Amino acid sequence: MDIRSRLQSKRLLRLDGGMGTMLQASGLALGQNPETLNILHPEVVKGIHSAYFEAGSEVVYANTFGANAHKLSRTPYTVEEVITAGVKIAREAAAPYDGAVGLDIGPLGELLEPMGTLSFEQAYELFAQQVRAGMKAGADLIAIETMTDLYEAKAALLAAKENSDLPVFVTMSFEQDGRTFTGCSVSAMALTLQGLGADAIGINCSLGPVQIYEIAKQLLPWTTLPLIVKPNAGLPVVQDGKTVYDITPEQFGEEMARFLELGVTVLGGCCGTTPQSIRSLCRNVEGKTPDFSKRVQSVPAAVCSNTVTVPIDRVRVIGERINPTGKKLFKKALANGDMDYIVKQGIDQAEAGADILDVNVGLPSIDEAQMMARTVKTLQSVINLPLQIDSSDPKAAEAGLRCYNGKPILNSVNGEDKVLDRLLPLVKKYGCAVVGLTLDENGIPRTAQERFRIAEKIKNRAMAYGIAPQDVYIDCLTLTASAEQDLAMETVKAVRLVKEQLGLKTVLGVSNISFGLPAREKLNQVFLTAAMAAGLDLPIINPNVLSMMDAVAAFHVLSGADVGSGEYIARFSQQSAQGSTASGAVAADAVTMQEKEIGYYILKGLREETRQSCRRLLEQKQGLEIVNADLIPALDQVGKLYETGKIFLPQLIAAAEAAKMAFEEIRASMPANDTSTEKGPIVLATVKGDIHDIGKNIVKVVLENYGYRIIDLGRDVAVEAVVQAVQKYQVRLVGLSALMTTTLPSMEQTIRALRESGCDCKIWVGGAVLTPEYAKEIGADFYAKDAQQSVSIAREILG
C-alpha cells in the first residue's frame, strides 16, 4: 500500500489498537520491557498483529514503541535487534492481508532540556538510530506517537525526515484541558508539525474517544493535513480490582464513527483497545464517507512557541531589543556569553506587551551559529513568546530554526536570487514564516511600485519552494526621514500595495524613520500609526516605549480588533491608576531618601531606592569609592546579620539584588573598558546531570555584589564546557554545585578534568549533599556551606 497516495485519496485508513494491553493479557510481566518480546516471544507479538488485521486493520504499528537506546539500556538487546525483529514480525503478519507496517516511535522516557537534561541533539540521535533501523527493516511508514513534549516530537520528526523518505504520522497526547503535560497546545502542535513536514498529524492515548472528539475539533482550524485519532478504550475505572474502561468496544466503535464528521480519515485505538474494539470501529464506519466540510483550505497566518500561539490576525508587536547594534552593553554581554543580560532584555519586552521577540546575536568576534542556538535555547527556557530568528548568516539562521521549540519567523530574505535560493529551502524545511525585504542586488528601490515588484518576486519564489503565502511577511523598508524625506510615505504606500494586491502580511522596522532627528519617539509614533493604517501587521519596535504600545492599543480600537474597546479601557484605566501611585511613591521617597544611607536600602532589599540613592552618590563621588566606602561595608553587614541569624535567606538575597542595582548604575557611569570595579573572573556551574541551580544562583548574586565578574555556565554543564571556560577567560577560581548524590560523580569528574588540563585554578564546591570531608576527597580546594562563605573564599583567592 502506498501510504501517501492513500492519504491523498481521502479514503479512510484503519489502524490497529493497543499493543501493551494485549501483551499484558498474554502474560507480560509488570515493568518488563514489552519490546524484548520481539525476540523472546515473536509468536505472541505476531498473533496480536494478525488479530488486528483479522479485525479489519490495514496498518499495524510494529512492537517498537520503546525501542530506543535509552529504554533498552537495561536489556541485553540493541535497538537494531529489537526493531529488526519487530518490523519483521509485523511484516509477516501483514503479508496475507496486504497490510502495511508502521515503525512505532514513542517518547524516549527522559525529558528534554530545558526542563530535563537530555539535549535536543541527543534526542535527535536516539530517534535517528530507530529510524535507520526501521528503514532497513522495511517499515512502510513511521508513526511517532504519544508525545507530550513538542520539542521531543520535533526531534523525532526531524530524525524521521532526515534519515528516511517514509511517510511520517505524528500524534500527541492531550489532557482534557486541551494541553499536553508540558503545556503544548493543539494549535502549537499543528502549526509546528505541519511546518516540519509531517504527512498526517493527530491525537492518541490519554483519553477516550468522547474526550478526544472535543480536542480534535480544536485542531481543525490549524491544519490542512490528514488527521489521525487513536484514543484509549475510554477512561479507566477500577472494577473488582481490575482496570476497565468506561465504555464498551461497541460504544468505542460508535464514538469513533463520529470522527468522520470532522473529516478525520485515519482511525485506530490505543491503550485498552483490542481487536474487538477495532472490529467494532470497522463495522461502524463501513460504507460511510468522511465529511470534509469542516476542514480548512489553508492554515491561518500564525507563529507559536510550544505553549503560546500568536495568530497574525491583528497588529502584533515584534520586540527589537535583543540586538547588539549600537549597544555597548549588549555587545559586551555577547562577548562574555552573559546570557542573563540577554534574557533580561527578553523579559522586559515580554512584560511590556511584545507578542514576538526578534533575536539577533550577530557580532564579528563570536561564533554566531553557536551563540544563536544557545540564545534561542536559553530564551525559550524562560520566555514563552514566539521568536524571530534574525541573522544574515545561513548557518546561524539554521542553528536557530533547528533548535527552536515551535514555529518561528526567519528574518530575513530579500529579492536577490542567491539569497532566496539559499534561505527559502531552510524556511520550507523548518516550516517557519519568513520576512522578505524589498531590496535586491541593486539596493532599495525608491518607489513603492518597484518595492512591490520585489515583494511579488519573493512571494512567487517562496510558493515555488512550497511555502504558503500566509507564511511570507514583507518588509517594505523604512528609510530615514532626515536623509530621504520624500521616501517616507513611499514606504507606507508600498505597505498598502503589498497588503492589498499580494494579500501578504507586512512587517516594518519602525524606529529607523527618526534617525538623526530630535524627539524621535514622536516621529516613530506617527509613522507607526500611518503604517498601521496602511495595513502594517508586524511593527518591529521597542515595546518598552510606552507611547508606541499605546499607539498599537489605540489602533486596535479603530481597526475593530479590540472588540468593545475592552483592552483599551483596561490598559488606560490601569495606566492612570499606576501613574498616580507611582508619582505619589516617588514624592514620599524623595523626602525619606535624604534621611537614609544607601546601606539602609540595601539591607531592606529596596531595589529602586538603592538605584536612586546610588545615582545621587554618583554626583558626589567616583564609582569605585562608592563600592568600597558604601556598598561593600553594607554587604558585609548584611552577611553578618545572616550568619548570626538576624535575617533569613530571602532577606539576604533581596539585599544582594538591591545592591546589584547600585552596581549597575556605577558600571553604566563608567567607560565600557574601565574594569576597575571588577574582580575575577570566577566561573560558576551546576555540574552535568544536575538541574538544581538555586544555590549556585544565590552565590552568584552575592559574589557579583562584591565586584566579582561571574561567568555563569548555568546548570547541567558538561565537564568540557567548564574546562573550556576556565581556559578561555583565564579563570583562577571555579565554583561547582551539585545537590544530588547521583551528580557528585560528575562534580568529581569536572574537578579531575580541570586538574588534568593544567588549569591553574582553585576550586570550591557546595550543595546539600556535600560535606567538607567529601569535598576534600574529590579534590576540591574549598567547601562552602553557603553564599557568605563563598565570599570569604573569593576574597582569600582573588582579593
Partner 1 sequence: MQAIPLYPHVEFSGIKVNRQEMLRYLGYRGQQMEPDLVQSLERCAALVEAAAAPRFVAAEYPCVPQADAVQVAQTLLLPGIDIQMHLEHSERCVLMAATLGYEVERVIQYHKACSMTEAVMLDAAATALIEQVCDALEEQMRLYYQASGWDLTDRFSCGYGDLPIEVQPGITGLLQSAKTIGLTCSSSLILIPRKSVTAILGVIRPGQRRSIRGCQNCKNKQNCTFRKDGITCGHSQQITE
Render 84-103 in DSSP notation, one character per residue: HHHHHHHHHHHGGGT-EEEE
What minimum distance in Å lies between the beta carbon of 770 and partner 1? 8
Angle CA 107–111–114, to nearest 5: 140
577 vs 553, 554, 562, 568, 570, CA distance in Å? Answer: 17, 18, 21, 14, 11
Contacting residue, 335, 769, 777, 796, with partner 1 by CB under 8 A: 769
Rule CB under 8 A: which of 88-107 touch partner 1? Answer: 107
When asked if residue 115 is in the footprint of partner 1 (CB under 8 A), the reply is: yes
When asked if residue 111 is in the footprint of partner 1 (CB under 8 A), the reply is: yes
Contacting residue, 489, 740, 753, 797, with partner 1 by CB under 8 A: 740
Contacting residue, 210, 329, 343, 363, with partner 1 by CB under 8 A: 343
What minimum distance in Å lies between the beta carbon of 400 and partner 1? 20
What minimum distance in Å lies between the beta carbon of 564 and partner 1? 27
Contacting residue, 121, 250, 261, 340, with partner 1 by CB under 8 A: 340
Cell of 737: 554545585
When asked if residue 646 is in the footprint of partner 1 (CB under 8 A), the reply is: yes
Cell of 75: 536489556
* Residue carrying the nine cell digits 478504550: 233
φ/ψ bin of 432: left (φ > 0), alpha (ψ from -120 to 50), beta (otherwise): beta
Stretch that binds partner 1, among 83-91, 626-634, 686-694, 726-734 (CB under 8 A): 686-694
Nearer to partner 1, 114 or 249 (CB): 114
Cβ atoms of residues 155 and 127 within 8 Å: yes
Cβ atoms of residues 381 and 409 within 8 Å: no
197 vs 150, 349, 381, CA distance in Å? Answer: 14, 32, 25
Contacting residue, 9, 676, 742, 792, with partner 1 by CB under 8 A: 742
Contacting residue, 223, 280, 375, 743, with partner 1 by CB under 8 A: 743
Contacting residue, 517, 526, 588, 694, with partner 1 by CB under 8 A: 694
Query: Can you tell me the distance from the alpha carbon of 221 to that of 299, in angstroms, rounded to the nearest whole number?
Result: 7
Helix (H) or strand (E) holding 285: helix 275-285
Stretch that binds partner 1, among 27-35, 430-438, 673-681, 789-797 (CB under 8 A): 27-35
Produce one character per residue of 123-138: b if its CB has 16 or more CB atoms within 10 Å, e if not: bbebbbbbbbbbbebe
What minimum distance in Å lies between the beta carbon of 185 and partner 1? 13
Cell of 556: 486596535
Contacting residue, 78, 117, 323, 757, with partner 1 by CB under 8 A: 117
Contacting residue, 148, 185, 514, 705, with partner 1 by CB under 8 A: 148
- Amino acid 349 reads Q
When asked if residue 589 is in the footprint of partner 1 (CB under 8 A), the reply is: no
Positive or negative, the CA dihedral 454, 455, 456, 459 is: positive
Compute the CA torsion angle 689, 691, 692, 694 (nearest 10 deg): 140
Query: Can you tell me the distance from the alpha carbon of 204 to that of 158, in angstroms, rounded to the nearest whole number?
Result: 20
Helix (H) or strand (E) holding 410: strand 409-414
| Cis? peptide before 681, omega within 30° of 0 | yes
When asked if residue 31 is in the footprint of partner 1 (CB under 8 A), the reply is: yes
Nearer to partner 1, 53 or 642 (CB): 642
What minimum distance in Å lies between the beta carbon of 792 and partner 1? 18
When asked if residue 789 is in the footprint of partner 1 (CB under 8 A), the reply is: no
When asked if residue 766 is in the footprint of partner 1 (CB under 8 A), the reply is: no
Cβ atoms of residues 361 and 337 within 8 Å: no
Contacting residue, 692, 732, 749, 797, with partner 1 by CB under 8 A: 692
Cell of 772: 567538607
When asked if residue 644 is in the footprint of partner 1 (CB under 8 A), the reply is: no
What minimum distance in Å lies between the beta carbon of 109 and partner 1? 6
Angle CA 768–774–776, to nearest 5: 125
Chain-centroid distance, C-alpha 273: 34
Count of residues that bind partner 1 according to CB under 8 A: 67
| Cis? peptide before 76, omega within 30° of 0 | no
What minimum distance in Å lies between the beta carbon of 258 and partner 1? 25
What minimum distance in Å lies between the beta carbon of 688 and partner 1? 8
Cβ atoms of residues 281 and 247 within 8 Å: no
Contacting residue, 11, 125, 181, 578, with partner 1 by CB under 8 A: 181
Nearer to partner 1, 241 or 564 (CB): 241
Q: Which positions from 186 to 205 touch partner 1 by CB under 8 A, shown as an x/- string?
A: -------------------x
Contacting residue, 741, 752, 760, 776, with partner 1 by CB under 8 A: 741
483 vs 298, 487, 494, 515, 555, CA distance in Å? Answer: 42, 9, 19, 9, 28
Q: Max alpha carbon distance in the chain (Å)?
A: 91
Stretch that binds partner 1, among 230-238, 392-400, 473-481, 482-490 (CB under 8 A): 230-238
Nearer to partner 1, 107 or 431 (CB): 107
What minimum distance in Å lies between the beta carbon of 790 and partner 1? 14
What minimum distance in Å lies between the beta carbon of 382 and partner 1? 5
Q: Edge-to-edge, what's the strand order for the sheet holding 227-230?
A: 13-14, 266-267, 227-230, 200-204, 168-172, 141-147, 100-105, 59-61
**Residues that bind partner 1 in the complex, under the rule CB under 8 A:** 29-32, 107, 109-111, 114-118, 146, 148, 173, 180-183, 205-206, 236-238, 241-243, 340, 343-344, 347, 381-384, 604-606, 645-651, 653-654, 656-657, 689-694, 697-698, 701, 740-743, 746, 768-769, 771
